[in-house]
C-alpha cells in the first residue's frame, strides 16, 4: 500500500461581500465555531452585515458558503502538505 500524504488546511481569510449580504444571519446561526458576529454595519441596501470576528476558529467546513442564500461569503484556504522524508532529502 502506498503511503498517503497528509495535508493540513490553512484558512487564509473569510470575507463577506457586504454589497451582496441580506443580513439573514444564517452564517451566524450555522457556523459551528462562531466565526461570525452581528454588527451595526448597514450596507447600502439597508441590511446589517455580520462581521468575521474569529477567522482563526474557521475549520474550512464551508457550511456558511453552502447556506448563504446570496453567495456572499468567500473563504480562502490552501493545503499545506506536511514535509516527508522525500521532501527533505536532496538525492540526485
Q: Does residue 33 touch ligand SF4 according to CB under 6 A?
A: yes
The stretch among 1-9, 26-34, 38-46, 78-86 that binds ligand SF4 (CB under 6 A) is 26-34
The stretch among 2-10, 38-46, 67-75, 82-90 that binds ligand SF4 (CB under 6 A) is 67-75
Minimum distance of ligand SF4 from residue 14's CB (angstroms):
5
Minimum distance of ligand SF4 from residue 44's CB (angstroms):
14
Placement of cell 470575507 in the chain = 15
61 vs 26: CA distance, rounded Å: 15
Angle at 23 between CA 52 and CA 16, to 5 degrees: 35
Q: What is the DSSP letter of 73?
A: E
* Residues 14/52, Cβ–Cβ less than 8 Å: yes
Q: Does residue 62 touch ligand SF4 according to CB under 6 A?
A: yes
10 vs 34: CA distance, rounded Å: 18
In the numeric block, which cell numbers belong to residue 79?
493545503
Applying CB under 6 A, which residues contact ligand SF4?
14, 16, 21-27, 31-33, 35, 50, 58-64, 68-70, 72-73, 75
Amino acid at each position: 500500500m502506498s503511503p498517503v500524504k497528509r495535508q493540513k488546511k490553512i484558512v487564509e481569510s473569510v470575507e463577506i461581500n457586504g454589497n451582496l449580504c441580506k443580513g439573514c444571519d444564517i452564517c451566524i446561526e450555522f457556523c459551528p465555531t462562531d466565526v461570525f458576529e452581528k454588527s451595526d454595519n448597514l450596507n447600502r441596501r439597508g441590511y446589517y452585515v455580520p462581521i468575521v470576528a474569529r477567522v482563526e476558529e474557521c475549520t474550512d467546513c464551508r457550511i456558511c458558503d453552502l447556506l448563504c442564500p446570496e453567495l456572499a461569503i468567500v473563504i480562502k484556504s490552501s493545503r499545506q502538505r506536511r514535509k516527508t522524508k522525500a521532501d527533505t532529502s536532496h538525492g540526485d
